[in-house]
Chain A
Amino acid sequence: MAITKRTVGSSDDKPIVHKSTGQVTSKSGKQSAWTEISKHIMTGISYMIPILIMGGLIGAFSQIIPYVILGIDPSLSIVDALNSGQFTGFNESLLRLSNTMASFGFTLFGFAVPMFAAFTANSIGGKTALLAGFIGGYVANNPVAIMKLTDGKWVAKTPVASGFLGGVIIAFAVGYFVKWLNEKIKVSHNWLAFKTTFLVPLLTALFTYIVMVYVVTPIGGSINNGIKNILQSAGKAGEMVYAVILSAATAFDLGGPVNKAAGFVATAFTMEKTLPITARVLAIVTPSIGLGLSALIDKKLVGRRVYDKQFHEAGKTSIFLAFMGISEGAIPFALERPSFTIPLYVICSIIGSVTAIALGAVQWFPESAVWAWPLIHGKVAYIIGLAVGSILIAVINVFHRNNLIKKGKLEIF
Chain B
Amino acid sequence: MGGETNMARKLVGLCACTMGLAHTFMAAEALEKAAKEKGYDVKVETQGSDGIKNKLTSDDIAQADIIIHSVAITPEGMDRFEGYEIYEVELRELIKNPKGVLEEIEEDLGFK
Contact = CB atoms under 8 A, between A and B. Distances in A.
Indicate whether A and B interact.
Answer: yes
Interface of A: 1-10, 19, 21-22, 39-40, 42-43, 45-46, 49-50, 122-123, 308-310, 313, 411, 413
A40 to B, nearest CB: 7
Contact of B87 (A5, A21, A122): A5
Contacts of B64: none
B91 A413 contact: yes
7 contacts: A3-B104, A4-B88, A7-B85, A19-B104, A43-B74, A309-B21, A413-B91
A5 B84 CA distance: 10
Q: What are the 9 closest A-B residue pairs judged by CB atoms, nearest first?
A: A310-B19, A413-B92, A123-B74, A43-B73, A8-B81, A4-B88, A46-B18, A42-B18, A2-B90
B6 to A, nearest CB: 24
Given A309-B22, A310-B19, A411-B92, A8 B74 contact: no
A45 B93 CA distance: 23
B73 A123 contact: yes
A19 B73 contact: no
Contacts of B52: none
A3 B105 CA distance: 8
Contacts of A6: 85-86, 88
Interface string B84-112: 11111111110111001100110110000
B5 to A, nearest CB: 21
Interface string B67-78: 000001110001
Nearest to A126: B78
Q: Which DSSP category, helix, strand, loop or mixed, fits chain B's interface?
A: mixed
A289 B99 CA distance: 42
B18 A21 contact: no
Interface string B12-54: 0000011111110000000000000000000000000100000
B41 to A, nearest CB: 21
B38 to A, nearest CB: 16
B3 interface: no
B19 A46 contact: yes
B23 A309 contact: yes
Given A1-B101, A2-B93, A5-B108, A413 B23 contact: yes
B107 A21 contact: yes
Contacts of B107: 21
Contact of A3 (B19, B73, B101): B101
B4 interface: no
Contacts, number: 85
Given A1-B101, A3-B104, A8 B92 contact: no
Contacts of B104: 1, 3, 19, 21-22
B101 to A, nearest CB: 6
Contacts of A43: 18, 73-74
Given A3-B104, A3-B105, A43-B74, A8 B21 contact: no
Nearest to A5: B87
Given A21-B104, A43-B73, A43-B74, A8 B84 contact: yes
Given A21-B107, A309-B19, A4 B74 contact: no
A3 B74 contact: no
A256 B72 CA distance: 28
Chain A CB count within 10 A is highest, among B22, B90, B92, B96, for B90
A305 B55 CA distance: 32
B59 interface: no
Nearest to A412: B92
Contacts of B73: 39, 42-43, 46, 123
B83 interface: yes
A49 B107 CA distance: 40
A311 B108 CA distance: 36
Nearest to A7: B85
Contact of B84 (A7, A123, A411): A7
Contact of A2 (B74, B85, B89, B105): B89
A21 B104 CA distance: 8
B74 A5 contact: no
